[in-house]
Structure formats: C-alpha cells, structure tokens
Chain A
Amino acid sequence: MRLRVKLFAFLTRYRVGDAHRENLSSGTPFEVDLPEGATLADLLRALQVPDEEVKMTFVNGLAQPEDWQLKDGDEVGIFPPIAGG
C-alpha cells in the first residue's frame, strides 16, 4: 500500500535513505510504500525515526496510537513534542 507521509519540525532530519526526500522542508508530503497491514510503528521503523522522538502521530487528521493499522491512501503526519500558544 502507498501512504502520504509528512514529517514535522525536528523530525525532518530523518529523511534518510531517499535522495528525493533530503531537501524536503517540514510538512512537505512524500510517498512511502509499505506491506498491507503495516502499523504506525512499522512506518516509523521504515523511516528510521526513533520512537522516543515522536510525540503525536495523525492519520487523516486524527491522532492515533502506534499500533494503529494503516490502509492504502492514508495521510500520516508525525510530530515531535511541540507547543506554543
């Protein structure tokens, strides 16, 4: 299945292994192919984003836990701890 993925803030540094992604700025979507049934945790592993640096993961605009099962066409946003006001 194919996902549209966005990394934000500090996490943009984990665009490893894909020359196309290296210059992408925060929040610019890119596509990732994963086997059917993969979870958010599988996606983080595939992107080599360390678990402990991730605070919030959104699938189609809704926050979901790491064991959330993804499906083809999902939009995923991955954030480190951030805040403001």
Chain B
Amino acid sequence: MWLIRVNMTDLTSSVGPLPDAYQHLGGRGMTSTIVAKEVPPLCHPLGPNNKLVFAPGIVTGTPAPTSARVSAGAKSPLTGGIKESNGGSSWAADLADMQVRALVVEGQAKKNGKFWGLHLLWDAAASQPKVEFFDASEHAGKDLFEVFPKVYAKFGDKISISGCGVSGEYGYGNAGIVYNDPAKGPTRYSGRGGLGSVMGSKGLKLIVLSREGTPGVPITDEALFDQGRKKMIDALRTHDITKPKGALNTYGTAVLINIMNEAGGLPTRNFSSGRFEGAAKTAGEAIFEGNKQRLGKELYNHACSPGCIIQCSNTWHNPDGTEAASCVEYESDWALGANCGIDSLDDIATMVKLCNGYGLDTIETGATIGVIMEAGVIPFGDSQGAINLIHEMGKGTPLGRILGGGTGFAGKAYGMTRVPAVKGQGMPAYEPRAVKGIGITYATSTMGADHTAGYTIAPEILGVSGKQDPLTPEGKAALSRGFQAATAFIDTSGHCLFIAFAVLDIASGMEGMVEECNGVLGTQWTTADIGRVGAEVLKAERAFNEAAGLGKETDRIPEFMRTEPLPPHNQVFDVSDEALDSVYAEL
C-alpha cells in the first residue's frame, strides 16, 4: 500500500510505502491524522504550508457494498479548523484500487495564471502507481460541465476525475472538490469547508486517475471479509430505509423535507420558522411524482458511485423529459428552497446545476443567500434573483466574492445578526431549536455546523436507533458524542454514512462492517472498538482545532437562537454551555 506525496512548489512527487503508523487508517482517520500531524495549525489555509490529503476508506475499492467513498482533508479556509469532507465517486474506488491509501498534496505552484493537473496511473513494470503532471491551464475559468467532457476526451473513458471549479480558483470559503458521477458529470462533491480553494491555491485544477491495470485492494482474510460483507448486504437489503425501492431508493434524501416540516424543524427563510408552506411541493415525493409525470414512468434512484446497493441519488427532469439536475439532495433542496422561501423544484434544480458547474457547495450557497435575502438584497422567494446571485459568485464579481466567502463572511459584510453558522460554516437543514441534539452536534463538531458529523436526527426525528424527544436537551450531549464517535469510524471505514440507518437497527450489519475492516486490515476489532477508534480520530481533530484557536468558546450556537423563539414550537436553543463542553471533555 502506498502513500503518494505531490509537491506543487517544485512539481515533484514521491511514491512510498505506507508508514507503519498509518496501516490501520483510512478515510477520515487517515486525512485527519495526517493533517493534524503535518499541517501547522496556524498556517494560512490558502498558503503553501497547508496540505490537501485524499484518502479512500479502509474497505473502499473492495466488493463491500456502498463503500466507494473518499475523504478529502486539510485546514479549512471556511472554518479555520481541520476539515474532512466526504464524497462518493468512482474516483474513490480507483484511488483505492491503485493501492494508494493517501495522496498528500503539498506546497504551492508559482502563480502565473497557470493551473496544473495530476495524472495517476499504474506503472505495471514497477508494480506501483506513478504520477505525471500536465498543464491544465486551458480549464481555468471554465464551467465544470465544459471541463469534464474535455478531460474524458483527452484521457479516455477509463478514468475518474476530481478537481475544483472557478470558486476554488477564486479562493472562496465556499468551494468544494468535485468528482465525476457515473454519467461522467461533475456532480459529486466533497462540498463543505472550502477544500476546493485549498486545491486551487496550490495551482492544482484536476486529478485524473486511470484505472487500467490497477491491482485492486489486497484483503488479508478473505473468509472474514466475505462474512462481514454478507452481513452488511443483508442489513442493507432488508431495512425499510435502505432496501431496493425503499425510502432512499424511491424518494431520495429529499424525502426528509416533509417529516422535518411536520416536526417543525425545517429551517425556513433564514431560520425564522420551522415550517415552510411550500415544503410538500419540494419534497422527495414531489420529485418522484414529478419525474413520473414528465417521463411517463416511475424512476427509481441510482448509485452515485460503483457498488452502492442503496442507490439514493435522484435526477430531476425538465418538462420535456431531459435531465435538469442530478442530484437534488435533501440538503440542496432545502438550502436553495425552504431556506430561501423558494418552492419551485425547477428553480432549485437550476441552482443545484449552477453550483455544480461553478464548484460551489449547495448548503453554503443556500445558507448564504438566505442571510442575504434577509439583508434585503433580494426578497425571499425570488428565485431569479437567487440564480443571479449564484452567477455573481461564478463570475467572481465583488458581490460574488462577498457571497463566496460563506455564510458567516457574507453576514458580516451586510451587518447581519441572524447568521446561522458555527465556526463560520453555514448550518444544514435541521433547526437546532427544534432538534436539540443536532444543535449540539453543530456547536461542538470539529467541522463547524455539520449534520453528518453526528446525525442525532436518526433517533430524534426518524425513530431509527430508538426514539428521543427532539425538544428536550436532556441526555443529548451524550447522544451527540456517541454519534460523533461512531460517525468518525464509519467515515474511516469507507462506507457511505447512510449504511448507518440499517446497521444502527440491525446489529449483525454493524458486526459486518467491523468484520469487513478486519478482513482487509487483519485487525481484531469488535463492535466495542467502533467508539474507541472514532474517538481517537475526534481527539486528533480537536487538538488541531484548539491549536488553531478554535477552543470550546467557539462551540456555541449563534446568539439569536438562544433568545428568539422559533415557531411553531416556540423553542429557543436551551442547551447549557456546560452540556456543550461535556461533549469533548468526556470523550
């Protein structure tokens, strides 16, 4: 197994064996360990001392289901803390199949308008991966929907692509890292935290992986791996949420719109209400029914990446049956919909596609526009105005750059007090005042406001892994802590986080995940190690953040959520500072 270092300052690379200390790491565990160890916490995120690390998960590239996931990590230009942002793509599996467990991009190319690309391929003669540089300047300043076909034309079909859009070239806090989807489009993202700008700051535009001749991931104990894989497949195929034609496969993640609205926790018009009158029009059910009407047949969702058996990724179609956007996820749907008072799926899809083309994170974009609407720049509900603002971001105009700085930055520029962000990162699609546990995750996560970091929505709203009252703060610090640690393990394993819905309810599925990892690594973990391994990752991240100046004082929810009751339940965020601090103090 290999660790590749690429130095953008002098355009050199080295391929070396994976150090012993990193043997049992993958995904987030790998990126966060390397960033915490090698990146000076006080460095400028867009300077030469930051490092951008890519790592496939432990089981990524194997036949383990729903595991073509990659972690991208660095110091975040959005939060100023450590960042891991997870994406699903063939790019993840291709990196793993090249036996690359970590790709570390260091230094900074000299700025003379030039952008570089990396081409990683398997060197059969040397039995190891190799790195070639190519001039990618022709792709600078271009829409990613123009760039991707050109890259496929140049390198052939047997490749995967990652890169940054113009947003990453501009250095926005809101710039994701894009990966190809199964239809070769630029729509899969490590969206959060501005990692696209870390890539762009290094003068790196694209990373192309050729899968030809790659040896695949070695498995230490095949029998054990297979046993685990079967348990995982059984769990995913039988659970109502993850099974074929189950909730995720039929309605996609946007099936959450209605239940969050019903529970009074769907943030609406910049977090001023928990209910949106247009919710049902934008929900996953409306996407399913709308597609059925426009296509004349039922359309079930597809996999974002090879080997996924949940298959939750939808495509929204135009009235003439052509593709409008892939994929309209719950978060994007909400951010550009309810949060902006917009109830047209067609307009939301237009905005999703623009974000994908410019390399913007849909959550950060919608959260930012929500604040800017409240500031009166455009009214709530003005979708054409919102579309124009996204173009401003894409063109890099002065207004676009203010918005591209992210929710917190744009809020400051307009003198706003109601800014839904933690550590500068815009909040996702769950209201902390209506769902206290997720608010604790937003406040305390090493990532800034991030729902995936500790998805307490499962028991608080969905009845998965037990049922808990969303309005009470009681016991929620421990709940969030447990979810944050388990999540760090799943993000390390290489499985998509959505397996959790099945394996939290089906114990053999959870065992299966651990057995798959043991099968690959030769470790002897049990399910009791999930929390321990996850906690180690969190501790490394936390230590980095503290050294970067993000101590517990930054683990707080914006003041307005503590003072302003949220309809319909008229709740404030009433979790004590002591409870928030206990999340990491008692880790």
**Which residues of A are in contact with B by a Cβ distance under 8 Å?**
6, 8-10, 12, 25-28, 55-56, 58, 61-63, 77, 79-85
Given contacts A79-B259, A84-B252, A56 and B463 within 8 Å (CB-CB)? yes
Cβ of B452 under 8 Å from chain A: yes
Contact across chains for A27 and B283 when beta carbons are under 8 A apart: yes
* B240 close to A81 (CB less than 8 A): yes
Which residues of chain A have C-beta atoms less than 8 A from B246's C-beta?
A: 81
Chain B residues near A83 (CB-CB < 8 A): 241, 247-248, 255-256, 458, 462, 464, 498, 501
By size class, the interface of chain B is: 35 or more
Q: Are B264 and A61 in contact (CB under 8 A)?
A: yes
C-alpha gap A80/B258 in the complex (Å): 12
The smallest beta-carbon distance between B360 and chain A, in angstroms, is 19
Tell me which residues across on chain B come within 8 A of A55, comparing CB atoms. 240, 462-463
Q: Is the CB of B285 within 8 A of A25?
A: yes
Interface residue from A10, A12, A58, A80 paired with B262 (Cβ < 8 Å): A58
Q: Give chain A nearest CB distance to B546 CB in angstroms.
A: 28
When distances are taken between beta carbons in the complex, the residues of chain B under 8 Å from A58 are 262-263
User: In whole angstroms, what is the CA distance A82 to B255 when docked?
Assistant: 7
Q: Is the CB of B248 within 8 A of A84?
A: yes
Q: Is the CB of B284 within 8 A of A84?
A: yes
| Contact, CB under 8 Å: B263 / A80 | no
Task: With a 10 A CB-CB cut-off, give which of B263, B471, B498 has the most chain A CB atoms.
Answer: B263
Min CB distance B438 to A, Å, is 11
**Nearest Cβ on chain A to B505's Cβ, whole angstroms:** 9
Q: Does B44 contact A (CB under 8 A)?
A: no
- In the bound complex, residues from chain A placing their C-beta under 8 Å from that of B312 are 84
List the 9 closest A-B pairs by CB distance, nearest first.
A84-B253, A26-B285, A27-B280, A81-B240, A84-B256, A77-B262, A82-B247, A61-B264, A84-B330
A-B contacts besides A82-B241, A83-B464, 11 pairs, CB < 8 Å: A10-B247, A26-B280, A81-B241, A81-B464, A82-B256, A82-B462, A83-B255, A84-B247, A84-B312, A85-B330, A85-B455
B467 located at the interface, meaning its Cβ lies under 8 Å from any Cβ of chain A in the complex: yes
Residue of A nearest to B240 (CB): A81
**Smallest CB–CB gap between B338 and chain A, Å?**
14
Residue of B nearest to A26 (CB): B285
Q: What distance in Å separates the Cβ of A30 from its nearest Cβ neighbour in chain B? A: 13
Q: Is B54 an interface residue (CB 8 A)?
A: no
Is B254 interfacial (CB 8 A cutoff)? yes
